[in-house]
Structure 1
């Protein structure tokens, strides 16, 4: 007994080994795959049967519909003809005749018969036309005249129908429709089809007539395309044959009530035979057009499909089995060689009683473990490396020989969409994170970490985003989004920035300024988007801090254009500002400065470079004004150098404007405080003399010196000290002020005005006017 058990154990041991082998597993898998085409063949077989069946039914229905259309067309022609007959003047007039026919009535019968003969010739679908006049009991045909009893001997609705019933049918007030009737032919009754329609008399309560159209029954199915071994027949509601291609049938194989639909198909048993019947219904008569085929003929094509399917399955099994064995053997050899190689090189013994994949898993597990340890060490530095990579990506400092996609994969960066934008967030003040008694670096890093996580969480609702620290007060956020219209994308980026700024402001009391770039396409557009965001952030000097700046809102729609009229600060404006300050007109000077700033900076579109240049030009103008209002013996004149230093430290245009206003207020205050000290009676007389004789072309420093008995150089120096400008400049400015008043009108030419204000040479007038006003006299007149 023990020997038997050991023998079975030795026999089953290799079998258990094979059950765990990859070879057997693959074989089962390949066999399972082999079953897939077999199952698909079965599905295709079922679908093909349905297609073949539907196609055959469609073909049968097409035949029936063609026959129906042909017959119904003839029926419509007969109905049209009946209308034409009923409108015939002779046929309608004969309804007035009574039973006692006169000679004229007999002549009318002859004329009506001729007309009926013409109508019969017009439609070859007719066997004859009969007109039954109820009032005179007269029946007229194309070749005969009879009464109702004679018509009864020739036509009946049924073979054994009594005369009284036949007359009752003809005496109805309303008759219209097709009937299956029998006609007498060589002492036999032959079935045919009749269309009957009554004609109403035009005289009240007078009986009219009945039109009877006898249809050639043999021509009903003359155009039908009868399939091989098939039969076509027409049934009425009483299950009687109207027509049939098989005259031997005594009764229909399918009943009218078995076909409730307008068209369809059904299988029936008839006389021990299985038939397939397709039918359609006439829209005019309601008759059923039926086509029958033996079931074996109908299923002949389906049997062919079934045989082909079985053959394809057997072929799949035969060929697939051979290919499966060849592939198993071919694919197993590399696995076997790999196991031997690993067993030899790795020093791991392969247990032949185990699965090959289990051995490979054990052999590679140690390698993966070592790789995982190395990967964990790299992950510890991954955030720093990725942050450094994102900084270089924004600034366009990547290695050109390494594709961006490979770099993204290396740093675990995913950009699934094609649209890219950059949002820069600048910390204006640190709120709760501000500390004066300890190092700011940890607080700034903690705040930047908070801002970065809030921005990423907000952006994750609609896009992928990555945040990176650019410096201690600036963060960059790369937003990867789907391509959309500029308006839609602007709204989405504004939402991200607004929600981030609002959250940080509410919970940390930290004020942020956001600069948002336009939409760029592709990874290589990230650098362009960063440059746009940087340029938008620079515009913070114009727009102020604590808000959102869109790159698209910058001048020209791209942030690079100038103001619509160009840079506006002509020499005339500078001279006007100096005069206002020199005269101590504080309100006018501040309003004038605001107007200049309005024209260059605050109007849309605006220019960052215009704002910077304008502020320093205005400060330079005030520096010139300091030189002109400096009073001898008054050393406490305002210091313009320190004012410029304070201007440089300003962060926004608003702060710069405030510094300019303070400087203007200081200078005007200085002028007004020292106005009495700076006055001189001699200088006042010189000014009055210039205003009186400015029209004299010989007026100059020498003539003024002679008028006041003083040396020209002395009076010029004295005028400069007290008036703040040279005597020659004062003469030219006085003349130019008078010239500008004259140029505002159209009465005098430029040459005439030149002579009127003391310039003998018009070229000299042009040169001096452009020097002080910045434009020519003609251009000044056009502007005004």
Structure 2
């Protein structure tokens, strides 16, 4: 054993040395190359990004200088302060032409000033380098922000005062060509601080023009650049999408203040402009960053890989040589598992210790299962008497798990009641009852260990008595059980002052009939409590001796709840069950029969006193019908009248539910009529307003109106769109936004689907 221990240690040490030494050498070389390359790349990237930043800021300074020159232009100053002579006056055409000629040169020499316009408020004219628009809407038709209608454009840009204001990157359409621009806005004169300035200069700078100044990083490394203002709005994007940039800024793993950091597979460089507050970011792919280190990495990992292969071969040889005794030991342990083995200080100690732990855990688990066995057995008995099992196989499997050790093919179910504790529920009384139940069960177990018992409430115990022998008749079996229990009851009273009575059902001949015998025992116990009977009572005796009617409280509560829910069939079934119990299983005197009818009438009158029935128009009629019920003939006649009254009462509940449903649907329609223009109006929003689940709202609307909720919302929007199409001051895109569609394409498809024609064709048909 010492020999094998030395071989195992030599194998382990040599294997670790062979693998660790080349791995450490390769890793150190790799990390050194990364550190050097990363440092150089960061310095170069920061320098390149700062140069691009300086170029962009100089060009933006040129734009600002252009607006200042316009502010100093005397001709423009005179023109923007002139007043129109009349409403039909289109303005001083010559002066407007002159200004256009003077400022046109700027657009020809500076690509940042290629697209700009000057808005003169007094003439309501828009001047561009090549044209003058005496109606701003004409300029809007050729050049406008994609996601901004004309009213928004005038309100946000024309009617506001701006001072060196830069609007972040927005989608723009220029002569039908989609692009993205930032907008530099300046009100004239420069000291305009009122609500409306005489003139506004707007310089539109194309995203591609800005990106060309920042393309150095991408051209050199194949990376990306992203410029945003202090609020995080995009100014320029090259090689990265807005969603990716937003996700990066929102990621808690990304430090916005750090100059250089790795984010995912990119090295991100960040600088901030002291003059504008703009944030410049450049991303360099890790692959480009590591380009210079790839050669070193290739050499390092080649050497490391070769060393690893050699080490694996040597390790495999050593492992094969040393695994043979271990495999032989495992074979012996499989054959001799559970037997004691000598413990020595060698490699087998680990196996022996683990096996000992498994054995100890197994014993602890076995002890815990044995401790839980009474609870499992009690749960099995409760399910058995409640009738929860569906097949004999299921009962057999559960009985085996509970380790009952008995075959319940035949026997009796009884309920033993401990008297003297009714209505008492203090802690002391409950503790005393627990002790009394324990004594009762222990005494019964001493008399006959085959009896199975489980608690029923605080003062009752359910006991299952197996038959003594299969050939004994029922009368003899009952006598045997009474002979067994009478000394037991006397003992409980004499020794512990505990009075015990019992009730028993008819015998069961199969495990599936245990629940039936239990229900009969419960009924017998109820009869015993009612008649104050002592001793032991059998279900077979109360059927002939019963002089009271059967209408327990739980049956009345079930009848009340089913009628309140409008479940007509179930309510009639409960009434039928009560009648069957009192006509077929009992022989009631006329007085008891009349008393039963009075109880049933009382139940119905309790229901009618509730608000759900009192508000119905049929209330008085149904109430009078209930009061008129009498036992004048056969009890079946009374049952028929009860069924008709229950049918009427359930109809009242159903009618009230329908009225409530109609009211809810009307509220939904009103909410849709108010909020149809909200593009975020969804089934969830509607259900939230109605304070009902989404699925319930959808089904309810369909049942009441015969129309899907989504179809109704679409119809409301299309009807409103048809009205707006009659007003030609709105474009189709504007109408789409007003009726709750963010996409004009989706609106056109929906309009054609509902109205049968496209919106433009519908407008033409009105002409």
TM normalised by structure 2 equals 0.31
Give the number of the structure whose alpha-carbon radius of gyration is greater.
1
Q: TM-score, normalised by structure 1?
A: 0.30
